[in-house]
Chain A
């Protein structure tokens, strides 16, 4: 299953609302997670099961979707949110991740 993220990179300002899309090449039901990775750090999970917020993750992060189209929305973008974001499907093996979306400061 291929996961296509868009955009691949985006410039945004503090306070903006940002939406990242992840499209699956076939139905993955709701088995999608989203990860954030900052330079030099391991990834951390933000959203699992398409829309469930992982413990400790700020509520400005929101996930939605099912089937083949999923979105990660970040409301009121904060300086610490500038990072790279990945979607990942856990519906079937081989597990796959999207190519990533780099969020930069405008």
Chain B
């Protein structure tokens, strides 16, 4: 089955760290660019980060630049988001999304909650 499965979301205190994972199956992961997209409770979608098919092209939203790091392991068909210095405003459902004809494949999301 063609799918993306995120994991790693949790409740964390402000200033803490978390690492999200997104595992792909059913397609050639290494051939696709990927994004992280988040959605705060009751709010719209916000793009977080993009990574090319290798790690030479990586971009971030200004709101996370310097705090979040995106990486991938094509051998493990996995995408990662290392989140440091977390803030209350990072609380959201985090999705990974495949880039093809638009963002054509999404995971179900993993919840990150930042609170003391």
Contact = CB atoms under 8 A, between A and B. Distances in A.
Interface residues on A, range: 20 to 34
B102 A35 contact: yes
B103 A33 contact: yes
A35 B35 CA distance: 15
Contacts of A86: 44-45
A98 B44 CA distance: 8
Interface residues of B, number: 19
Interface stretch (B12-20, B59-67, B75-83): B59-67
B46 A48 contact: no
Interface of B: 35, 44-47, 50, 59-62, 95, 101-104, 106-109
Which label, helix, strand, loop or mixed, suits the secondary structure of the B interface?
strand
Interface in A48-99: 48-49, 52, 54-55, 84, 86, 88, 90, 93-99
A48 B102 contact: yes
Nearest to A31: B102
A43 B107 CA distance: 9
A100 B45 contact: yes
